[in-house]
């Protein structure tokens, strides 16, 4: 799993956002789109073509599982998706990678500031 995860990093923005959406709860496609828009405060808009293309890949990699329809949903055509443990591991690895990038960036920006003064 570690190999798979490290080979796949860094994640493409669409994949990252999708995994992030599913990390909190199981969602259908439209739910993922809305959650991604919310995460990025509307700056990143995921359209169905990109969404399902990425879902297709994520399912193939077994990072995301397809749960099928949920009884009682107002639209029977919707299917729900869940983050697998594998996907969760990948997301954790990516988050750690990003965190180190952010840490490094902050460090450098802080060092650079006094010079400019």
Q: Which residues between 20 and 39 bind another protein (CB under 8 A)?
A: 28-30, 33
63: left (phi over 0), alpha (psi -120 to 50) or beta: alpha
Pick from 3, 24, 41, 75: which binds another protein (CB under 8 A)?
Answer: 75
Task: Quote the least distance from Cβ 48 to another protein, whole Å.
Answer: 5
Give the span between the Cα atoms of 85 and 63, in whole angstroms: 7
For the chain, list the strands marked E by DSSP: 27-28, 64-68, 80-83
Pick from 79, 89, 97, 98: which binds another protein (CB under 8 A)?
Answer: 79
Give the span between the Cα atoms of 92 and 45, in whole angstroms: 23
Beta-strand relationship, 64-68 and 27-28: unpaired
Q: Which stretch binds another protein (CB under 8 A): 11-19, 43-51, 90-98, 101-109?
A: 43-51
Give the span between the Cα atoms of 115 and 16, in whole angstroms: 36
Residue 84 near another protein by CB under 8 A: yes
Residue 91 near another protein by CB under 8 A: no
Residue 44 near another protein by CB under 8 A: no
Residues near another protein, by CB under 8 A: 28-30, 33, 47-50, 52-53, 55-56, 59-60, 62, 65-68, 75, 77-79, 84-85
């Amino acid at each position: 799993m570690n190999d798979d995860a490290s080979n796949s990093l860094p994640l493409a923005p669409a994949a990252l956002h999708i995994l992030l959406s599913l990390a909190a709860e199981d969602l259908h496609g439209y739910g993922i789109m809305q959650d991604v828009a919310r995460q990025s405060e509307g700056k990143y808009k995921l359209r169905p073509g990109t969404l399902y293309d990425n879902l297709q890949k994520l399912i193939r990699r077994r990072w995301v599982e397809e749960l099928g329809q949920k009884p009682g949903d107002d639209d029977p055509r919707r299917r729900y998706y869940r983050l697998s443990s594998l996907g969760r591991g990948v997301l954790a690895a990516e988050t750690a990678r990003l965190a180190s990038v952010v840490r490094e960036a902050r460090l450098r920006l802080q060092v650079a500031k006094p010079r400019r003064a």
